[in-house]
Structure 1
Amino acid sequence: MARGFVLAATHSGAGKTTITMALLKALKERGLDVQGCKVGPDFIDPQFHQAVTGNPSYNLDSCLMGDAGVKEQFRQLLAQNRHQDSNRRPLSEKVMVVEGVMGLYDGLGSRKENGSTAWIARLLNLPVILIIDGAGMSTSAAAMVKGYRDYDPQLTIGGVIINRISGEKHYELLRSAIERDTGLPCLGWMKKDQALHLGSRHLGLVPAAEVDALMQTIQRSSEAAQKTINIEALLQAAAPLDTDTSAGKHFRPEEHQPNKTRTFTLGIARDRAFHFYYPANLDWLTEQGFKLVEVSPLKDAALPENLDGLYIGGGFPEIFGEELEANSSFREDLLEKAKGGLPIYAECGGFQYLCENLTDFDGNTWEMASVLPGRARMTDRLQRFGYGIIETLPAKGFFTEKLRISGHEFHRGVVDSEEENLINVTKMQDPQDMSEARKWSCGLARYNTFGAFPHVFFQSNPRYIMEWLKKIPEWQPKKIRKEGKE
Structure 2
Amino acid sequence: MDKQIAVKAVLVAAVASGQGKTTTTAALARKLVRMGQRVRVFKCGPDFIDPMLLERASGAPVRSLDLWMVGAEQCRAQLAQAATEADAILIEGVMGLYDGTPSSADLARQFQVPVMAVIDASAMAQTAGALVHGLRDYGPVEMAGVIANRVASPGHAAMIAASLRDIPLFGTLARQDKSLPERHLGLVLPDEVGGIDALLDQLADSLTFDEAAWNHLPPVQLDMPPAPARQAPQLDGKTVAVARDAAFMFLYPANLDTLETLGATLRYFSPLADEPVPADADAVYLPGGYPELHAQALSQAHTWRDSIRAAHAAGMPIVAECGGMMALAETLSDPQGEIWPMAGLLPGEVRMQTRLAGLGSQGIITPHGLLRGHTFHYSQLHTELAPIAYTIKHPSDAQGEAVYRAGSLTASYFHAYFASCPAATAALFLRRSAA
TM tier relative to shorter chain: over 0.9
Determine the C-alpha separation between the residues in 1 that align with 2:15 and 2:349.
Answer: 41
| CA distance 1:363–1:10, change in 2 (3 Å) | same
Contact 1:64 1:456 in 2 (8 A): no
Percent identity reads 33
Structure 2: where are the runs of 5+ without partners? Answer: 1-5
User: Structure 2 residue aligned with 1:447, among 383, 397, 407?
Assistant: 407
Q: Does 1:413 align with 2:393?
A: no
- 1:127 corresponding residue in structure 2: 114
| CA distance 1:68–1:301, change in 2 (3 Å) | closer
User: Structure 1 residue aligned with 2:169, among 186, 190, 194?
Assistant: 186
Q: Does 1:237 align with 2:217?
A: yes
Question: In structure 2, the residue corresponding to 1:274 is in which secondary structure?
Answer: coil
User: Structure 2 residue aligned with 1:146, among 114, 130, 133?
Assistant: 133
- 1:483 corresponding residue in structure 2: none
| CA distance 1:453–1:251, change in 2 (3 Å) | farther
User: Structure 1 residue aligned with 2:317, among 322, 338, 343?
Assistant: 343
Question: In structure 2, the residue corresponding to 1:173 is in which secondary structure?
Answer: helix
Deviation by residue 1:214-263 (Cα, 9 ceiling, x = unmatched): 111111111111xx112342243253444x7xx324565x6x3457x934
TM-score between both structures, scaled by the size of structure 2: 0.92
Determine the C-alpha separation between the residues in 2 that align with 1:249 and 1:414.
Answer: 43
Determine the C-alpha separation between the residues in 2 that align with 1:70 and 1:10.
Answer: 23
Determine the C-alpha separation between the residues in 1 that align with 2:182 and 2:218.
Answer: 31
Show the 5 A alignment for 1:67-78. 67-78=72-83
- 1:373 corresponding residue in structure 2: 347
Contact 1:6 1:100 in 2 (8 A): yes
- 2:200 corresponding residue in structure 1: 218
| CA distance 1:420–1:251, change in 2 (3 Å) | farther
| CA distance 1:104–1:355, change in 2 (3 Å) | same
Structure 1: where are the runs of 5+ without partners? Answer: 82-92, 108-113, 393-400, 431-436, 476-486
Question: In structure 1, the residue corresponding to 2:164 is in which secondary structure?
Answer: helix
Show the 5 A alignment for 1:394-473. 401=367, 404-429=370-395, 438-440=398-400, 442-471=402-431
| CA distance 1:173–1:318, change in 2 (3 Å) | same
TM-score between both structures, scaled by the size of structure 1: 0.83
Q: Which amino acid aligns with 1:163?
A: N
Determine the C-alpha separation between the residues in 1 that align with 2:39 and 2:432.
Answer: 37
Contact 1:159 1:237 in 2 (8 A): no
Q: Does 1:34 align with 2:39?
A: yes
After TM superposition, give the deviation of residue 48 of structure 1 in Å: 0.8
After TM superposition, give the deviation of residue 372 of structure 1 in Å: 2.2
User: Structure 2 residue aligned with 1:16, among 21, 24, 41?
Assistant: 21
Q: Does 1:304 align with 2:286?
A: no
After TM superposition, give the deviation of residue 210 of structure 1 in Å: 2.1
After TM superposition, give the deviation of residue 159 of structure 1 in Å: 0.7
User: How many residues end up aligned between the 2 structures?
Assistant: 430
Determine the C-alpha separation between the residues in 2 that align with 1:380 and 1:174.
Answer: 38
Deviation by residue 1:163-191 (Cα, 9 ceiling, x = unmatched): 10101111011111213xxx011112111
CA RMSD in angstroms, aligned pairs only: 2.3
Determine the C-alpha separation between the residues in 2 that align with 1:49 and 1:116.
Answer: 20
